[in-house]
Amino acid sequence: MKTAVITGSASGIGAAVHRQFADAGMNVIGVDIARADVCADLSNAAGRAAALDAVLARSGGAIDTLVCCAGLGPQAEPATLVASVNYFGSLALLDGLFEALKRGSQPAAVVVSSNSAVLQPWSGHPLHEAFLDGDEARVHALVEASPADQAGYLAYASSKHALAVAARRRADSWGSAGVRLNVVAPGAVQTPLLEAGLRDARYGEAIRQFVPPVGRRAEPGEIASLIHYVCGEQVGFMHGSVLFIDGGHDAKVRPDAF
């Protein structure tokens, strides 16, 4: 039986991924801050280390599929938590489970980014550089220095962009090791995270106006279906890609950029 590890498994997209993988007959290890097989706080180094230790113990040191789905929305407080969970938490699990993936059967990993990651240019931005340098303290300082009504959005969008870049930068070494790694970038998805954003006075209206050409938000299962497909053996040549599943929003905003 193949083993899959899903972070953010307790709700939203992560819960939908967990269900689909389990229905496909996989041994699924869910990771979340609560209500999971492995309960750990990915916002700090100690929690990340505990998550890795527990996952490796449960999996026997061999993993076939990894989906890094844990994340916080821009409304989370303090905004530094958004940066820590979305980027540093995801990357710690991704890199920390690389050797276990190498021991898996036709292994594949997916990190969940966001179409929000490309709504503004990040090249040369201090936050972008701090993320990719792995400097969590500097990221926190930059987020804390941002205007209060923008800090959450900046932390969210920049962390999701940096996460996609970090994954693509690993394409050469991971591919050479026989481990596929791809990025899925959803748009607005009907999840508890989005509902919390809608209730936020700073970001609620912008989220309500964030309607893609297809005229609706996605359901978690739709995103999970793409993740499940991308991890499958039938697309063994797909590696290092960023796949948007956002109802056409990216195409609407950036029709000439692909």
**Distance of CA 75 to CAs 19, 107, 152, 159, 174, Å?**
27, 34, 6, 14, 34
pLDDT of residue 145: 96
pLDDT of residue 149: 87
pLDDT of residue 192: 76
pLDDT of residue 199: 81
Nearest to 66 by CA among 97, 41, 91: 97
pLDDT of residue 120: 85
Q: Is the pTM of this model over 0.75?
A: yes
3-state secondary structure of 244: strand
3-state secondary structure of 182: strand
pLDDT of residue 137: 98
Q: How many other CB atoms are there within 10 angstroms of residue 44's CB atom? A: 17
3-state secondary structure of 183: strand
How far apart are alpha carbons 73 and 35 in whole angstroms?
Answer: 19
**Distance of CA 254 to CAs 43, 187, 249, 257, 258, Å?**
32, 14, 8, 5, 8
pLDDT of residue 31: 98
pLDDT of residue 83: 97
- In order along its 258 residues, the chain shows pLDDT tens digits of 999 999 999 999 999 999 999 999 999 999 999 999 999 999 999 999 999 999 999 999 999 999 999 999 988 999 999 999 999 999 999 999 999 999 999 999 999 999 999 988 898 899 999 999 999 999 999 999 999 889 999 999 999 999 999 999 999 999 999 999 999 999 988 777 767 767 877 767 777 777 789 999 889 999 999 999 999 999 999 999 999 999 999 999 999 988
pLDDT of residue 202: 79
Provide the annotated active-site residues: 156
Q: How many other CB atoms are there within 10 angstroms of residue 15's CB atom? A: 23
Domains of the chain: 3-253 (3.40.50.720)
